[in-house]
Structure 1
Amino acid sequence: MTTVSASVREYLRAPFWAYRPLSTLARRTLIAVVAATLILDSLFRATNVDATNVASAVATTSLTLAVAVFAWRPPVATVALICMIIAASIVGVATSLLTAAAILGLVAFTCSAALTAVYAFAWCIWLFVAITNPQSGFQPLGGVVIALLSVLSLVIGLTIRQQFERAKTLAMQLEATEREVAEQLRHERDLIADELHDIVAHEITIVALHAAVLERTEDTQTRSQSQTAIRDAAVQALSDIRRVLGMVRGEENLWPERVPSPDSLEGALTTAVRELRDAGIDVEVNVPDELRLPNAPLLALIRVIRESATNVLKHATGARSVQIALYVEHDWVHLRISDDSPLAQTAGLPSSGYGIVRLRERFRVFGGTFEAGHRPEGWVVTAALPLSD
């Protein structure tokens, strides 16, 4: 009902010269009908010795030609019809009243409410003149029948217009819904890809590196530590995979504020420090004793810590020390992770660069900054996020 009311209000408020163009099929059909009408009317007048007078013929032909203009400019056609109706009223011709009544529906469908009202008013004057003029030979009962037909034509035209408006509105709503669904699907795919990247890039990296350690060492303690690390990483990977599968099945909401963080900030730092130290890298951590962060910055920083620790293990095999610094300044939280790795020593594991790209996009969305690159002192990652909206 609301949609119908809005459509009616829009129709009533439309500019005087506004119009709805006919479709290609409707234009072709209209032109064919007009052409057939002109040919049949000409043949009828040529073969009928009792044909009507010249004024009636001119009125009929003018009306038919004006209808053809609806194929291109309905307002121009309606104005031409109004002029023809006024001329017919003055001359006293009444032979085309029925055709003009039928055209009222076409005017209502294509033109504005104001122009339709002007046409209907002119047609009513023509009908009144025809009924009251004794020389026209027009009977009052015939006038009533034509008036009812004109009302029926008007109702049909407005109904068809309303259905077209409704179909247009529904099509726009459907298009907007499809865009929204596509955006939501893209967003959910990105979230799932983020989760899978964390699993593959982090846990599997741990497994691969410690599996390589098992191949190169015979030290019992080192082998035990590597086996423990492999087991813990595999268990964590299975847990994360189950969580991602739950997201795919719709058991968990995928919006960022509801995606459960894989760890607390302290837990993420502890895990990163342990994994780096297990790889023989010294780690220095500087974090305030009391630090409370909103969920969005907290989750983003945890991802940076996990991604940076993974990248050190994968690409910085020459690193001997890592520094992690976290501090708050002027309502911004800053994180800096650096190592002393040489430029070209890596663990030989494949890299897609996906993690860095996604982190940069995430920080840009949150209004923060993210930079990662190799400097003279080693690989450096800097990230900053505002603590307020």
Structure 2
Amino acid sequence: MISLAVTAVPLAGWHVAIVATAAAAQSAALLRRRRAPVAVLAIGTALLVLTTVFAGDPVATELPVSFMMYAVAAHRPARTTWASVAAVVGAVGATYVFTLRPLPTSAAPGWATATLTVSLLVAVALGLTMRAHRQQLEAEKERAQQLALERDQRAQLEVLTERERIAREMHDLVAHSVAVMVTLAHGASSAMDRNPDLAREALGELTRTGSEALRDMRRVLGLLRDGSQPDGAASQTPGALPDLLATFAKVGLPVRLDVTGEPPPSEPLLHHTVYRIVQECLTNVLRHAPGSDAVAVRIGWGEADVTIEVTNTGPVVSRVAGEQSGHGLRGLRERAAAFGGSVEAGPVEGGWRVRATLNHGDR
């Protein structure tokens, strides 16, 4: 036993038995110092006191108490540690003063108490250092786990965002193309007998629209899977809007474009968003109010924002149609929210109006 090895006072008879028994009990208690350090320290201190009282000298029972104090400092809060130091020093010091016999090889009570106190303080310092190091390692491990969790959550959000982008782009493309193609097909069917040339022209436009739709869908799917900007974001400058309106004019939608202000030249994503908002609004007019007398598209470019307003007048539009159920209105709001803007949609005198505002001054 480690405690027996430090026995320095030659004792005889039952004194040796007391010291040996106390040291053995302390050594056994040390095996439990990590699970119950405070209880082990209490046992060790009690054995030290008993050895001092009955054997006349603490001899081999002091050193195990220092190891026990180290366990308390390493595994329990600082408040508990310092309270334990005070309790041990007080109990052992009082015992030394009142019961320690001045044997030839024993230290004076005051010196013995000071020696024990220094030993306990060294044990506390080592234990607190070890506890701080362990807490730091645990904090770093917890932080690493938190970072891994946040990384996984960001990856999931990116996947969801990507899916929403694909759904939004595909909705705009399909809804626009299908609405135009259906209108062209009806027009071709109606003109087949009385005006074959017009019917052939409508069918040609139908074929061209379908081909463009397939090409655009392939581009959107391919580029969005790669995380790139939607195809056309760089090419759909304000000059592309007249071509869009011309497509709707070919299917009989009386569209008029009014643009004020100067658009920023270095905002391709902004131009793409404006293009898609106008496209979605005109597609809904074509689907839900094809008999509109007039459709006015107004775009006002400011220094820090842009306002898109699409108003159709004519037949009364049903509420369900006007609210653009499904991805329509939600997609418009998501596009506007990406630029810190908003979308308002509602009836006006004789028709329906959609108004979107996008902010771009702080981007």
Give the TM bin, normalised by the shorter chain: 0.5 to 0.7
Question: Secondary structure of 1:226's partner?
Answer: helix
For residues 218-367 of structure 1, the aligned pairs below 5 Å read: 218=192, 219-247=195-223, 249-250=225-226, 252-253=227-228, 260-261=233-234, 263-271=236-244, 273-288=245-260, 290-292=262-264, 294-328=267-301, 331-344=304-317, 352-367=325-340
Any idea what the Cα deviations from partners look like across 1:258-316, whole Å, max 9, x if unmatched?
Answer: 98356222212321x22221222222221138543534432321111111111111111
Any idea what the Cα deviations from partners look like across 1:136-175, whole Å, max 9, x if unmatched?
Answer: 9x9xxxxxxx999999988876665454333212111111
Distance 2:232 2:247 in 1: 24
Q: Does the CA-based 8 Å contact 1:105-1:157 persist in structure 2?
A: no
Distance 1:387 1:321 in 2: 30
Distance 2:121 2:300 in 1: 84
For residues 64-75 of structure 1, the aligned pairs below 5 Å read: none
Q: Does the CA-based 8 Å contact 1:105-1:154 persist in structure 2?
A: no
Deviation at 1:248, TM superposition (A): 5.0
| Deviates further, 290-299 or 217-226 | 290-299
CA change 1:98–1:318 in 2 (3 A) is same
Deviation at 1:353, TM superposition (A): 2.6
CA change 1:151–1:379 in 2 (3 A) is closer
Deviation at 1:356, TM superposition (A): 1.2
Distance 1:232 1:110 in 2: 78
Deviation at 1:380, TM superposition (A): 0.7
Q: Does the CA-based 8 Å contact 1:319-1:339 persist in structure 2?
A: yes
Identity %: 23
Q: Does the CA-based 8 Å contact 1:268-1:302 persist in structure 2?
A: yes
| Deviates further, 87-96 or 373-382 | 87-96
**Residue 199 of structure 1 corresponds to which residue in structure 2?**
173
Aligned match of 1:95 in 46, 61, 67?
61
Question: What are the ranges of 5 or more consecutive residues in structure 2 without an aligned counterpart?
Answer: 1-16, 113-119
Q: Does the CA-based 8 Å contact 1:109-1:157 persist in structure 2?
A: yes
Distance 1:313 1:170 in 2: 54
Q: Does the CA-based 8 Å contact 2:298-2:310 persist in structure 1?
A: yes
| Deviates further, 91-100 or 311-320 | 91-100
Distance 2:188 2:268 in 1: 39
Higher-Rg structure is: 2
- After TM superposition, the score normalised by the length of structure 1 is 0.62
Question: Secondary structure of 1:327's partner?
Answer: strand
CA change 1:324–1:167 in 2 (3 A) is same
Question: What are the ranges of 5 or more consecutive residues in structure 1 without an aligned counterpart?
Answer: 1-49, 139-145
For residues 70-89 of structure 1, the aligned pairs below 5 Å read: 77=38
Distance 1:289 1:268 in 2: 15
Deviation at 1:84, TM superposition (A): 5.3
Distance 1:269 1:108 in 2: 76
Deviation at 1:370, TM superposition (A): 1.4
Deviation at 1:188, TM superposition (A): 1.6
Deviation at 1:354, TM superposition (A): 1.0
Distance 1:90 1:51 in 2: 10
Aligned match of 1:210 in 184, 196, 200?
184
Distance 1:151 1:231 in 2: 85
Deviation at 1:236, TM superposition (A): 2.0
Q: Does the CA-based 8 Å contact 2:304-2:361 persist in structure 1?
A: yes
Aligned match of 2:152 in 162, 169, 178?
178
**Residue 14 of structure 2 corresponds to which residue in structure 1?**
none
Distance 2:284 2:298 in 1: 17
Distance 1:123 1:236 in 2: 88
Distance 1:244 1:203 in 2: 14
Distance 2:249 2:263 in 1: 24
CA change 1:377–1:96 in 2 (3 A) is farther
Distance 2:89 2:201 in 1: 99
| Deviates further, 151-160 or 379-388 | 151-160
Paired residues, number: 310
Q: Does the CA-based 8 Å contact 2:248-2:255 persist in structure 1?
A: yes
Distance 2:261 2:135 in 1: 69
Q: Does the CA-based 8 Å contact 1:104-1:120 persist in structure 2?
A: no
Deviation at 1:52, TM superposition (A): 6.1
- Output the aligned Cα RMSD: 4.9
Aligned match of 2:143 in 144, 152, 169?
169
Q: Does the CA-based 8 Å contact 1:368-1:383 persist in structure 2?
A: yes
Distance 1:176 1:381 in 2: 38
Question: Secondary structure of 2:316's partner?
Answer: coil
Question: Secondary structure of 1:265's partner?
Answer: coil
- After TM superposition, the score normalised by the length of structure 2 is 0.66
Deviation at 1:342, TM superposition (A): 2.2
Question: Secondary structure of 1:319's partner?
Answer: coil
Q: Does the CA-based 8 Å contact 1:332-1:384 persist in structure 2?
A: yes
